[in-house]
Amino acid sequence: MEKRILECVPNFSEGRDMGVIGQIAGVINNIKGIKLLGVEPGRGANRTVVTFAGEPEAVCEAAFQAVKKAAELIDMSKHRGAHPRIGATDVVPLVPVSGVTMDEAVEYARNLARSIGEELGIPVYCYEYAAYSEKRRNLANIRRGGYEGLVKKLYDPEWKPDFGPAVFNAKSGATAVGARDFLVAFNVNLNTKSKNIAEAIAEEVRERGKTIVDENGKKIEVPGKLEGVKAIGWYIEEYGRAQVSMNITKLLVTPVHVAFEEVCRKAEERGVKVTGSELVGLVPLGTMIEAGKYFLSKFQNTDEATEEELIKIAVDSMGMSEIREFKPEEKILEYVIEGRGKRPGNQNK
């Protein structure tokens, strides 16, 4: 019988205080049946992405305890960071990995959302497949206005939370809980500090595109280039550069290497260059293999390459170790879950 595995990738609005981050990761790791796959803090974004997986019931319990701990430790009234956010625990996505259908993931997500809302008193919105309405399917719609806009949003009948009180919680904000397909969070580095350039590139590559005003003052939506890609531009002070930050939700339609190449083209049109990239969270093995084969053929190399060689080609071609070393045993989903490629003495769980 296929093992039932559900993945959870909560994002917490704290990326600087390692004591707080450690406590949140600790309550997750203390739940029996959970495998903690990654903890990735970002100082500039002031946000930490945690990835863990296991039996669905254990995953939901770990997620609840993590949200509870974040509500205790993080004060959103004092939070500042580059990434859009609405709460101490900004988002809690559940991703079916094996032996779990999307319909089951939706049920788990909604039950988790109910527990967070009713037991912790945090306003909760359900998104993606778990959304109760089409308007709330897109996470960007829920986040629009950010934490600062929650007071107005929560008192708007159209934005009454799916669970929890429709009352502004200054300390914890709100949380979005959803069920979704596998997502790759991928940031492309530019050799400029200009947030405006990064934002302009993001508008052109993302699926939603941008809004322009014609000569008659009418707003027109101009679609972007890449299906299944959400993108924003920002400047990260700790890196000293701007990035195009993307969430790729349809990997079969828009693979990582296609998104990377499109950003390269749009950057060149503006007289700037892509210097590398940064993967936040995990990536499926097939995505790296596909990228390796693409760049191998682009270099007009027809030689056979091993799995390890293809991964290295992909990493080198997209500069994925520019900010921090890309370690396959820590960044590739299958390697982490199966413990593949672990080095002697490696303590990564």
Active site residues: 83
Which among 178, 36, 175, 169 is positioned nearest to 95, based on CA atoms? 178
The residue to which tokens 């904000």 are assigned: 173
- For the chain, how far is it from start to end, CA to CA, in angstroms? 25
Which among 42, 50, 40, 39 is positioned nearest to 15, based on CA atoms? 42
Which among 92, 68, 73 is positioned nearest to 19, based on CA atoms? 73
H or E stretch covering 211: strand 210-213
Residue 307 to residue 287: CA distance in whole angstroms: 12
Q: If phi over 0 gives left and psi between -120 and 50 gives alpha, with beta otherwise, what is residue 128?
A: left
Residue 203 to residue 187: CA distance in whole angstroms: 14
The residue to which tokens 């949140």 are assigned: 24
Tell me the β-bridge partners of 220. 212
Residue 223 to residue 204: CA distance in whole angstroms: 8
Amino acid at 177: V
